[in-house]
Amino acid sequence: MTWQGSVLRVNLTEGSYVVEPLNMEWANDYVGERGLGSKYLVESIDPKVDPLSPDNALIFATGPLTGTMASTSGRYAVITKGPLNGAIACSNSGGKFGAEMKFAGYDLILLEGRASKPCYLLIEDESISFEDAEPIWGQSVWKTEEWIRNQHNNPKLRIASIGVAGEKGVRYASVINDLHRAAGRSGVGAVMGSKNLKAIAVRGTKGVSVDNPKRFMEVVRETKALLANNSGRKDMTEHGTNSMLTTMQEYGSLPTRNFREVQFEGFDKVDANAMEETDDSGHRNLITNKACFGCTIACGRIAHIRQDHFTIINRREYWHASGGLEYETAFAFGPAVGVDDIDALTFAGYMMNEHGMDPISFGVTLAAAMELYEMGAISKDDTDGVELTFGNAEALTVMAEKTGKFEGFGQILGLGSKVLCEKYGHPELSMTVKGQEFAGYDSRALKGMGLGYATSNRGACHMRHDVFAEDYDDSSPEGKAGPCKDSQDRIAAMDSSGLCVFVTTAWGIEEFAVQLDAACDGTWTGDRLLEAGERIWNLERLFNLAAGFTSADDTLPPRLLNDPAPTGIRKGTLAELDRMLPEYYDLRGWTNDGRPTAETLARLGLN
């Protein structure tokens, strides 16, 4: 059996834990990771709880394929009620922590309550202890990992932790594992901080078995070959996700200067090509590519900053290589804030990893602050004297560090774009859905993306649907609701498997199904997975409805609905959400006000 069959339930208030058998009925219906973690969350908390109170739960969940030889098998997800917007939050991450947690014997770690003082959890197979985190409270993620390994003289520990941002409740604080892999979005790190939990350090030696090893090795060989020969995969290996930036520039869907514009004149200074160019001094931003656990794609970038750059010229501690720009980071620190200095972007990326924050939400919040600054709604008196103008690279790097360390104006930026814009009297400038910031795709040129953003259960998110092919074909809202709904269900299932959705460049749901079928008890087909995905989607929706969200929250900011795209091949278009949403509700089997009907719930076993 490829599930370990165990849930580690930790009561931080009491400093106790219990190892429970995994609920296999739920595993069969919700698979693992995102789906199963969400089911456990729904069964553990009241949807109306304050996300930063001890009543919230924080769940680390692996999937059935996590830790196996399937490609990209390093995924785990962190599920909780998110503090950025109060919706169900699920952020997944790669790196090596997730597989290690499973090797220690646990499918899920479920954390409840709040520790009386800062602590971290040390897990070595069955041995579990609560350790004192006072010496590292206030320290960065990078220091924390080093300190914990030294403390236990164990270099093999894999660690997921928070930085100061998470401790102080930055609303989009991330959980970071393996130095620069992030359960990035929705503020899952702030929930960890609210529980006085600095880190989980784990070493696992039990391994993972599958149901039919011989068959599993056969199908894994076949699916890996599909990936190996796929041109999209090759592009991702060679250039990383940031080659997307050039494509978005072409389509006029590259959100620029807080979405006022859709193309960025400096795009070629921060895109994948720019990372790969050697400059006059012989410096090249990109050093190499690296993989997460089990991954045969290796889209991760390892980069470094010019030593004479203003950010680090007097800070030798940043002269080392670390995680480099991925598309969303490049978008959020480049076009979104109008900055074209690739070293500044890379440094701001270091800050996100070192202090534990979501680059998308930080960048888009900073973009809103810059617009507020330029219109005079805030001034240097608010911004600690920093000239917060679009294009100011120093404003980006200084504010990234201030927010990570929760200093000065960083404390305001740490509340997110929605609260920031409301505070200064311009809620319309917040580029968010349900209080979560947009990723780097403009919904005027890409209509299906807009519908996906508007209906995503964690607020604006580009990873919950995949309507790229249809959106590239035309800019019409027609025919976008179906692919949006179908891909949401498909990805919900994929996100629950333990694998990474970046394999979808070569694999469809059937490739997931054959691997799960060989690994798990019972029969796993594509249809079964799609139904599980739809069940998961509706479960998340029900949580949000119970938390107080309504169909009125399935919307986009006025800028995207009313201001036509100013340039690009889709100049003049609007998001046109109203031409897609009713059809979408209908396809979902929801009422006109966005509630699943009794029939839908019965069909999915959710009644």
Partner 1 sequence: MQKALHIKPELCTGCLQCELACSYEHEGLFNPSMSRIKVFEFEHGRHTVPYTCTQCAEAWCMKACPTEAIHLDTKLGAKLVVESACVGCKACTLACPFGTIEFNPVSGKVDKCDLCGGNPKCVEACPTAAITYIDADSTGYDRMRSWAERTHLEVSQ
User: Which helix (H) or strand (E) segment is 7 a member of?
Assistant: strand 6-11
Cβ within 8 Å of residue 381, ≥6 positions away? none
Q: Which is nearer to partner 1, 286 or 433 (CB)?
A: 286
* Distance separating alpha carbons of residues 210 and 64, to the nearest angstrom: 9
Q: How far is CA 370 from CA 222, 309, 382, in A?
A: 50, 23, 12
* Distance separating alpha carbons of residues 131 and 133, to the nearest angstrom: 6
Please, what is the minimum distance in Å from the beta carbon of residue 241 to partner 1? 15
Q: Which of 44, 53, 289, 307 binds partner 1 (CB under 8 A)?
A: 289
Q: Which is nearer to partner 1, 160 or 368 (CB)?
A: 160
**3-class DSSP assignment, residue 490:** helix
Please, what is the minimum distance in Å from the beta carbon of residue 302 to partner 1? 5
Q: Which is nearer to partner 1, 55 or 521 (CB)?
A: 521
96 binds partner 1 (CB under 8 A): yes
What's the one-letter identity of residue 451?
A: L
Token duo for residue 318: 């940043």
Please, what is the minimum distance in Å from the beta carbon of residue 490 to partner 1? 25
Sign of CA dihedral 513, 514, 519, 521: positive
Q: Which is nearer to partner 1, 39 or 203 (CB)?
A: 203
Q: Which of 49, 128, 226, 228 binds partner 1 (CB under 8 A)?
A: 228
Q: Which of 226, 302, 561, 606 binds partner 1 (CB under 8 A)?
A: 302
With CA atoms as reference, report the closest residue to 461 among 263, 185, 247. Answer: 185
603 binds partner 1 (CB under 8 A): no
Token duo for residue 308: 């004479």
Could you tell me if 131 and 112 are in contact, meaning their C-beta atoms sit under 8 angstroms apart? no
* Distance separating alpha carbons of residues 1 and 170, to the nearest angstrom: 39
Residue 35: how many other CB atoms lie within 10 Å:
31
298 binds partner 1 (CB under 8 A): yes
Please, what is the minimum distance in Å from the beta carbon of residue 140 to partner 1? 13
Q: Which of 14, 16, 135, 213 binds partner 1 (CB under 8 A)?
A: 213
380 binds partner 1 (CB under 8 A): no
Q: How many residues bind partner 1 (CB under 8 A)?
A: 39
Q: What are phi and psi of 119, to 5 degrees?
A: -140, 165
296 binds partner 1 (CB under 8 A): yes
Please, what is the minimum distance in Å from the beta carbon of residue 354 to partner 1? 10
Please, what is the minimum distance in Å from the beta carbon of residue 139 to partner 1? 17
217 binds partner 1 (CB under 8 A): yes
102-161 residues in contact with partner 1 (CB under 8 A) are 103, 156
389 binds partner 1 (CB under 8 A): no
Could you tell me if 357 and 174 are in contact, meaning their C-beta atoms sit under 8 angstroms apart? yes
Q: Which of 35, 64, 187, 294 binds partner 1 (CB under 8 A)?
A: 294
- Reported residue count of the chain is 607
List residues near partner 1 by CB under 8 A. Answer: 67-69, 96, 99, 103, 156, 178-180, 203-210, 213, 217, 224, 228, 287-296, 298, 300, 302, 320-323
